[in-house]
């Protein structure tokens, strides 16, 4: 076989060295890669600091816009979504009250205030003032109070001509009787003496009086006001006449053996009131109330049960039950002293404790002296 025929079917010999160098010289130095159609285009990386900061600020603004858009969409979904159904609270059985708790609830003043007083005062905004005085109720009670004044206690007044005919004034009186009906009788007396131009009368009652069932709400509707300087100043600023009982609870809580012995007049609050407002003081001595329900003892054992400071023991109460609270038909006398004008001292004198104490003792001594003379001249408790 020939040599030419033997090379048929073999691959061609590689390029010669010269031809390879020639082809390499003709080839370009760098060939750009063909971009992949599926590979995203990457933006060029900035090289300067200002360019980097600008790019960061642009990304922050884009994030803020995206967050605001998400928040707006969330709020829109909340508004359009229906409200969730109410969840019923877990029912926890309340402990059964004891007999003591049940009795205290029924017998306390709060029970009657919620059930009776609230219903009685409902829809009476036009008739009841901000102090609780109910004029239609007072008019309905007027025949009963007139009967107590004219027929039961047969009240006599002495020295009423000294009462200032116009303008506000402060009536300072002794507390007389176990039940605080002295304020009611003083109101009836002043109403009978007054004309249409004379200001209305209200009296200040201590807080403990309002703890008695029925008593607190009834007295409030008849003109009693809780005793404090602010209430008194508001009444005087309206031109009303104010009654004050400086003995407080100690006055109506005296035992029968201490009758008509005035207790200490507190810290002279009525004197400070008169000095600040320039209102005259009229001393008032009430005789006959101490014998209506002579207090023989005070029980504190049942006080918590009835929510009162003490339970009085009289010859008829609690022996006769509620009937024992009916006062005896004693003869009452009310003495009005000469008005005491304190306007010369000025309003700044209300801070002088020594002067206030002296003026308070002066009023107390005048009332005590009038009571001593009246008790000595009295011949009978029931007939005067």
Q: What is the pLDDT of residues 197-206, one digit of tens each?
A: 667 899 999 8
Pairing state of beta strands 156-158 and 333-336? parallel
Domains defined for the chain, CATH in brackets: 129-377 (3.40.1130)
Q: Is the pLDDT of residue 7 over 70?
A: no
How far apart, in Å, are the Cα atoms of 161 and each of 158, 262, 335, 370? 8, 25, 11, 17
Evaluate whether 298 touches 208 at the Cβ level (below 8 Å): no
Range from 42-56, 91-105, 228-242 carrying the lowest mean pLDDT: 91-105
81-87 long-range contacts, CB within 8 A, separation 24+: none
pLDDT value of position 207:
81
Q: Average pLDDT in the 339-363 region?
A: 94
Question: What is the CA 341 to chain-centroid distance, rounded?
Answer: 35
Q: Is the pLDDT of residue 56 over 60?
A: yes
pLDDT value of position 101:
65
Percent of the chain with pLDDT over 90: 45
Give the separation between CA 239 and CA 197, rounded to whole angstroms.
11
Q: Rounded to the nearest 5 degrees, what angle is found at the Cα of 21, between the Cα atoms of 19 and 24? A: 110
Q: Is the pLDDT of residue 340 over 80?
A: yes
Paired strand residues for 53: none
Q: How many CA atoms lie within 13 A of 364 on its CB side?
A: 21
Residues in the chain: 384
From the list 317, 331, 312, 336, the residue with the least C-alpha distance to 249 is 312
Q: Is the pLDDT of residue 366 over 90?
A: yes
Confidence band (pLDDT; 50, 70, 90) for 57?
A: confident
Q: Is the pLDDT of residue 98 over 70?
A: no
Of 87-91, 98-102, 146-150, 249-253, the range with the highest mean pLDDT is 146-150
Helix-then-strand count for the chain, H and E:
14, 9
Give the separation between CA 11 and CA 117, rounded to whole angstroms.
125
Spell out the residues 6+ positions from residue 307 whose beta carbon is closer than 8 angstroms to its own.
Answer: 104, 107, 108, 109, 110, 211
| pLDDT tens-digit map of 99-130 | 666 666 655 556 555 655 555 545 455 578 88
| pLDDT tens-digit map of 228-287 | 999 999 999 999 999 999 998 888 888 999 999 998 898 899 999 999 999 999 999 999
Range from 12-26, 149-163, 297-311, 358-372 carrying the lowest mean pLDDT: 12-26
Q: Is the pLDDT of residue 161 over 80?
A: yes
pLDDT value of position 127:
72
DSSP state at residue 285: E
Q: Average pLDDT in the 183-202 region?
A: 85
From the list 299, 292, 192, 208, the residue with the least C-alpha distance to 249 is 208
Which contiguous run of DSSP H or E holds residue 74? helix 49-80
Q: Average pLDDT in the 332-347 region?
A: 94
Q: Is the pLDDT of residue 33 over 60?
A: no
Q: Is the pLDDT of residue 341 over 90?
A: yes
Give the separation between CA 30 and CA 32, rounded to whole angstroms.
6
pLDDT value of position 111:
58
Mean residue pLDDT of the chain comes to: 81
pLDDT value of position 110:
60
Confidence band (pLDDT; 50, 70, 90) for 2?
A: very low
Q: Rounded to the nearest 5 degrees, what angle is found at the Cα of 242, between the Cα atoms of 232 and 290? A: 115
3 state SS of 232: helix
Q: Rounded to the nearest 5 degrees, what angle is found at the Cα of 64, between the Cα atoms of 61 and 67? A: 150
Q: Average pLDDT in the 47-64 region?
A: 80
pTM listed for this prediction: 0.67
Confidence band (pLDDT; 50, 70, 90) for 6?
A: very low
DSSP state at residue 38: T
For 215-248, give one letter per residue: b (16+ CB within 10 A) or e.
bbbbbbbbbbbbbeeeebeebbeeebbbbbbbbb
DSSP state at residue 128: B
Q: Average pLDDT in the 189-213 region?
A: 80
Give the separation between CA 209 and CA 334, rounded to whole angstroms.
22
């Amino acid at each position: 076989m020939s040599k030419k025929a033997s090379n048929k079917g073999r691959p061609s010999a590689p390029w010669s060295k010269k031809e390879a160098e020639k082809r390499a010289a003709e080839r370009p130095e760098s060939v750009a890669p063909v971009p992949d159609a599926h590979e995203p285009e990457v933006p060029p990386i900035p090289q300067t600091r200002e360019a980097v900061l600008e790019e960061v600020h642009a990304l922050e603004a884009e994030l803020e816009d995206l967050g605001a858009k998400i928040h707006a969409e969330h709020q829109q979904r909340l508004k359009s979504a229906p409200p969730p159904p109410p969840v019923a609270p877990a029912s926890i059985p309340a402990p059964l009250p004891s007999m003591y708790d049940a009795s205290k609830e029924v017998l306390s003043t709060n029970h009657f205030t919620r059930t009776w007083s609230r219903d009685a005062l409902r829809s009476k905004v036009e008739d009841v003032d901000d102090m609780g005085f109910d004029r239609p109720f007072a008019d309905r009670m007027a025949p009963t109070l007139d009967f107590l004044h004219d027929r039961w206690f047969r009240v006599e007044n002495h020295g009423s001509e000294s009462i200032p005919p116009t303008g506000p004034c402060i009536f300072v009186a002794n507390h007389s009787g176990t039940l605080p009906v002295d304020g009611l009788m003083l109101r009836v007396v002043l109403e009978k003496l007054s004309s249409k131009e004379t200001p209305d009368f209200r009296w200040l009652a201590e807080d403990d009086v309002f703890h008695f069932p029925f008593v607190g709400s009834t007295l409030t509707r008849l003109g009693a006001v809780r005793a404090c300087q602010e209430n008194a100043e508001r009444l005087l600023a309206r031109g009303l006449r104010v009654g004050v009982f400086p003995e407080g609870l100690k006055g109506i809580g005296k035992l029968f053996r201490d009758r008509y012995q005035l207790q200490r007049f507190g810290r002279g609050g009525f004197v400070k009131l008169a000095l600040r407002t320039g209102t005259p003081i009229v001393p008032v001595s009430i005789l006959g109330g101490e014998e209506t329900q002579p207090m023989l003892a005070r029980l504190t054992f049942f006080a918590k049960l009835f929510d009162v400071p003490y339970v009085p023991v009289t010859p008829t109460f609690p022996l006769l039950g509620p009937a024992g609270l009916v006062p005896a038909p004693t003869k009452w006398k009310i003495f009005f002293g000469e008005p005491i004008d304190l306007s010369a001292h000025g309003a700044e004198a209300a801070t002088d404790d020594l002067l206030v104490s002296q003026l308070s003792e002066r009023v107390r001594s005048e009332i005590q002296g009038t009571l001593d003379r009246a008790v000595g001249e009295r011949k009978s408790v029931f007939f005067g």
